[in-house]
Structure 1
């Protein structure tokens, strides 16, 4: 099966580009978020390719006036991996690793826009994520992450919002193996995963970006954790990218929930990060994460399927299964010796099962 990708020097095996190994759960995904300087508007987007499943899906979501508006689309791919469009959602890679543009074409829902992401620095590469359920591979993927500035415009129900000075955000690219598509008919004898602790904190400061993430087991031991500070420079060979391998964190929980009220991380070497949620809470189910109908890689029985819905602020409160996996807008303070840098960012949170150091117990029991 030949596709447009075969005319580019991108092959990794002797097979055509359309064939991505043998694991049905192979995926290749783009993710974006962005926010206004005052935190009143938040948007996010994603596009995922699932070559073994023959599906491409995409989402674009905006929080405006307290309401999260979700646009979702899915189509059958036919093996083509260079068609970066899914219905009304189109992605242009203007300059690889530097400039990308999202186009949200007019459709029968409330969302439209043209949003351009311009990098602040060369992408960082996070440590490879590998995790098994017993003998079965659960995750094996690579992710690159990058902060940037946004320009352009978006529209919600005809209300146009210009993206000007101070609009910032994050984008990532990840590829490899994750659970996607329909559930497997025979789970591992140990059962599907019942513990997952995930923090991700991309932050924008005036002249630098900070990234901290942690995947922990139930005892609190990190199986994937890293902190990185990178200056606003395209060239990382001059030492502008600094990694901290031994970061540790403390969490204060919002009572009666598994949501963070405040987080502090000791990165090491005199660097300390403090995050305080201040803005809207974004439900990642808008991008398909854990969504029962629009989960990643599902076949909707048509060449193209498009849907719209919305979530009020109350519907994004703790307790709604559609709002267990969230990104919260935060103010960030990074202390480096006697200097304190102030910025903004997001705090992504997904906590399933126990986590002894922070007091989490049970499957979804609220924090003590």
Structure 2
């Protein structure tokens, strides 16, 4: 049987049941959320992914308290039912599409949460990400991104903290094709000897609205996907403006983590320049990204849940699973506004503008 709950809704994109998403085994459908206090502290994040052709769903929840990143990882067999948005103790409820969602973590190993997200403006649609390595599509997906406010609470080991006014953050939805599940063992003729990937993403909350900038670039620094956008508070889809921008970054010595950055923009209504200063580092492996055990789409049996605590003070910056980070940052603009945002970065392989020549050599 291939019929599922989704077939009751007018959302089909092909003549087949919703359980099938084309023919690419790497198709995925993902939710992502992060949040932080007005001072950049008490960072938390949640991710949930569905992999229809791997028949797996997984979810992750993390919260930083002091210098420890507390994580819950969960995975289950999907059973070809894409409308059940939960894995282990973690689930997502859509309250109002494109505007409000609820995130629930039932108590698991001392961690629980009940959080509601409300968007500040209509989501932006980022340009379609299509990237090939030789003849093979490495990525082909779409993402929408939205800044918003949070309410609710998070509890860790008996200490519950309320999300008071001023807790902001970002959520996104992406779907399409990217590497998921077990690695393909088949080598590809003509593939580069050293893989290369460069990514920066900076969703920022300012008093008057939301600023978004991202870039994927090749080894020489030429962008193959980039966009800057400004969404004033309460903006509808036609109130969002778009344009271009650049991000000049410096790296923490001995690592590939960003130390600070300056964004220069040409976007109607947005500041022309913003400086980002770090407050807190979040390891994206806590949400499964490059995690050696809990990577996206890996099969862990019918159901599995585990807690992981990451000591941020002793994290090896050049271990592959630790290169991908989000840096919660205070933001100052050329117009005198102050805000908070996230500076996400992943650099693997050489990147000439920052003087990186090996696969995981460090900034000097």
Cα deviation for residue 347 of structure 1 reads 0.5
Moved over 3 A (4+): 190-193
> 1:166 corresponds to which residue?
166
Would the aligned equivalents of 2:27 and 2:176 in 1 still touch at CA under 8 Å? yes
Over residues 78-118 of structure 1, what are the superposed CA-to-partner deviations in whole Å (9 max), with x where a residue is unaligned?
A: 110100111100110010111100010022x1210100000
Check conservation: 1:283, 1:316, Cα contact below 8 A.
no
SS at match of 1:106: strand
Partner of 2:80: 79
Structure 1 Cα separation of the partners of residues 265 and 31 of structure 2: 28
CA deviation after TM superposition for structure 1 residue 234, in Å = 4.0
Aligned-residue offset at 1:319: 2.8
How far the C-alpha of 1:320 sits from its partner, in A, is 3.5
Q: Identify the residue that residue 199 of structure 1 maps to in structure 2.
A: 200
Shift of 1:268: 2.4
The answer for the alignment partner of 1:257 in structure 2 is 255
Question: Under a length normalisation based on structure 1, what TM-score does the superposition of the two structures give?
Answer: 0.95
Distance in 1 (alpha carbons) for counterparts of 2:323 and 2:41: 22
Q: Which string of whole-angstrom CA distances, capped at 9 and with x for unpartnered residues, describes residues 192-219 of structure 1?
A: 7710111000000112100111100001
- C-alpha displacement of 1:317: 4.9
Query: Which TM-score applies when normalising by structure 2?
Result: 0.96
Q: 1:252 offset after TM fit, Å? A: 1.9
Cα distance per residue 1:338-366 (max 9 Å; x no partner): x2221000100101112112222211111
The match for 1:271 is 272
The secondary structure found in structure 1 opposite 2:336 is strand
Q: In structure 2, how many angstroms separate the alpha carbons of the residues matched to 1:317 and 1:187? A: 29
Q: What do the CA deviations read for 1:297-352 (whole angstroms, capped 9, x no partner)?
A: 0001x2111011110122335234332111011011232xxx22210001001011
**Partner of 1:105: helix, strand, or coil?**
strand
Q: Is the 8 A contact 2:6 2:83 kept in 1?
A: yes
Mark the runs of 5 or more structure 2 residues left unpaired by the alignment.
none
Q: In structure 2, what is the Cα distance between the partners aligned to 1:135 and 1:75? A: 33
Aligned-partner SS, 2:185: coil
What are the superposed Cα offsets for residues 173-203 of structure 1, whole Å, 9 maximum, x if unpaired? 0000000000112032234771011100000
Gaps of 5+ in 1: none
Residue 286 of structure 1 deviates from its aligned partner by 0.6
Shift of 1:36: 1.6
C-alpha root-mean-square deviation of aligned residues, in Å?
1.3
d(CA) in 2 for partners of 1:261, 1:77: 40
Partner of 1:288: 288
d(CA) in 1 for partners of 2:171, 2:247: 24
Is it true that 1:326 corresponds to 2:325 in the alignment? Answer: yes
Select the residue among 346, 357, 362 that pairs with 1:361.
357
The C-alpha deviation readout for 1:207-239, integer Å capped at 9, x for no partner, is 2100111100001100001111110124232xx
Q: Distance in 2 between matches of 1:178 and 1:321?
A: 18
2:138 pairs with 1:135: no
1:100 corresponds to which residue? 101
